[in-house]
Amino acid sequence: MVVIEEAPKVAEDDDTLLEQEVNRLYSKLKKLGWDKSACESIAPYTLKINKLKRDKGFKILAHSYQTADIVFGIADIVGDSLALAKKATEIKEKRILFCGVDFMAESVKILNPEKLILVPERGRDCTLADSITGEDVVKLKEENPGVPVVCYVNTNADVKAESDICCTSANAKKIVESLDTDTIIFIPDENMGKNLAKMTGKKIITWPGYCRTHNALTIKRLENLISDDKTKTFAHFECRPEIIESVDYTGGTGDMHRYSAKATKGDKVLFLTEQGFIDRMKVEYPDVEFEDSKMICVSMKRNDLIATLKALENPTDDNVIDLDEDIRKRAYKAVSNMLKY
Ligand code: 13P
C-alpha cells in the first residue's frame, strides 16, 4: 500500500503567504524545470519548516549535494564540507538542523559540543567512512611510527580521534604540503591519496577506501558526458587518478563554486561531482551552461522535506547527533586543526 502524506495545513488566511512562497520557490526552481504546480506541492512544507526553524531558534545548514527543494526551499547556509564546519562555529544559534551525511554533522558536533545538532534522516552509509575504524588507524600508526596521519573529513569520529589533522577536498593539498615531512599517512580515500602524491611529490601511505559516487566515474563514462569540445571539465579530488589527469581542473565543490562565479555567459562546464551541486550552480548562475554529471550520492539524498519537518516538530533520538565525550574530545584536535587552512 502506498501512503501519501498529507501536506501540512496552513491557516486559511495564509493564502497570500502560500502564494508568495510558491512564487519564491518557482523563481529559483524553474531553472531546473520545475513548474508552478510542483512548487505548489512543496510550498506548505517549506513554509511550515521555515516558520518552525525561526520559532525554535534553528539554523538549517545544507551541503550542496542536497536536493534543490532543501537547498532553495529551507536552507539558511549552503556550502561545501569545510565552509559548513566553519559556519557552524560562527553562528550564534545553539540549534542546527544539518542536511547532509553523518560524518559532516559529527564534525559540527565535535566543534560545537554545546549545540544541539539534528539530522532529518541519518546518512550513515558513506563507503569512505565505513571503510576504516579508529583501531585500523592505531595499527597504521604502529606500522609507521612518527608518520603524521591526515584523515579526510569523510570519516567517523573514532578515526578523527586517532588522527593528527583532518582535511576536506578544499584544503587537503595545502595541509599535505604544510606538513614538515616527506611521508604522510592519508586515510581513507585511496584515489585522493594517489592524487595528492602526484600533486605534492610526497610519499603518501594510502588506505583502500573510495567514494562509490566518484569512483564509479570511468574514462568511458566521462567521454559520454561531454557533448562539446569547448566544455571545460572540473573533477572532484575523489575521482580516480586517470580522470584527474584527463580533466582541465581539479578541486572540491568550494573550488567549483568559485569557478562558476567567474564563468561568463555561454561558458560550458562539466563538474564531475554529485548532481545536486550542478543543480545548485544551474540556479545560481543561469547564464553558464552546466552539463549534467548524473552522479548521485544515495546517502546524501536521504533527507527530504517530510523528514525535516518531523525532526523539527518532534525530534527522535535518532535525529540527534550524540558522540561519546572521550572520542569527541580526542577528535577535536584534528577537526579544529582543519579549520586553520
Ligand atoms: P566537499 O564538500 O569537500 O567538496 O566534498 C563533499 C564530499 O563529501 C564528497 O564526497
**pLDDT score recorded for residue 2:** 45
Residues 53-75: tens digit of each pLDDT: 999 999 999 999 999 999 999 99
Residue 209 CB neighbours (<10 A): 24
Residues 6+ apart with CB under 8 A from 81: 63, 100, 104, 107, 153, 168, 169, 170, 252
Just give the CATH number of 129-209.
Answer: 3.40.50.10800
Nearest 10 degrees: Cα torsion 259, 261, 266, 271:
40
pLDDT at 216 over 50: yes
For residue 279, the SS3 value is: helix
CATH topology of domain 12-123+300-319: Rossmann fold (3.40.50)
Give the residue-averaged pLDDT of 111-119: 98
**pLDDT score recorded for residue 123:** 72
- Residue whose C-alpha is closest to residue 71's, from 99, 30, 49, 47: 99
Residue 124: pLDDT band (50, 70, 90) is confident
Residue 292: pLDDT band (50, 70, 90) is very high
Answer yes or no: is the C-beta of 188 below 6 A from any ligand 1 atom.
no
Asked whether the beta carbons of 168 and 80 are under 8 A apart, the reply is yes
pLDDT at 16 over 80: yes
Ligand 1 nearest atom to the CA of residue 79, by list position? 2
pLDDT at 118 over 70: yes
pLDDT at 10 over 60: yes
Give the residue-averaged pLDDT of 114-119: 98
**pLDDT score recorded for residue 7:** 63
* C-alpha–C-alpha distance, residues 171 and 78, integer Å: 18
H/E element holding 280?
helix 275-284
From ligand 1's centre to the CA of 104, what distance in Å? 9
Residues 154-179: tens digit of each pLDDT: 999 999 999 999 999 999 999 999 99
pLDDT at 44 over 60: yes
Answer yes or no: is the C-beta of 81 below 6 A from any ligand 1 atom.
yes
Ligand 1 nearest atom to the CA of residue 84, by list position? 2
Residue 262 CB neighbours (<10 A): 9
Asked whether the beta carbons of 72 and 95 are under 8 A apart, the reply is no
Answer yes or no: is the C-beta of 299 below 6 A from any ligand 1 atom.
no
What residue has cell string 562546464? 269
pTM for the model: 0.94
pLDDT at 22 over 80: yes
Answer yes or no: is the C-beta of 168 below 6 A from any ligand 1 atom.
yes
* C-alpha–C-alpha distance, residues 98 and 59, integer Å: 8
pLDDT at 5 over 60: no
DSSP characters over 173-215: HHHHHHSS-SEEEEESBHHHHHHHHHHH--EEE--SB--HHHH
Provide the 8-state DSSP code for 295. B
297: exposed, middle or buried (C-beta count within 10 Å: 0-12, 13-18, 19+)? buried
Answer yes or no: is the C-beta of 80 below 6 A from any ligand 1 atom.
yes
Ligand 1 nearest atom to the CA of residue 126, by list position? 10
Provide the 8-state DSSP code for 240. -
On whether the 213-291 domain is CATH 3.40.50.2300, my answer is no
For the chain, domain boundaries:
12-123+300-319, 129-209, 213-291
**pLDDT score recorded for residue 1:** 42
Average pLDDT over the chain, rounded to an integer: 95
Provide the 8-state DSSP code for 154. S
pLDDT at 3 over 60: no
Question: What percent of the chain is predicted at pLDDT more than 90?
Answer: 94
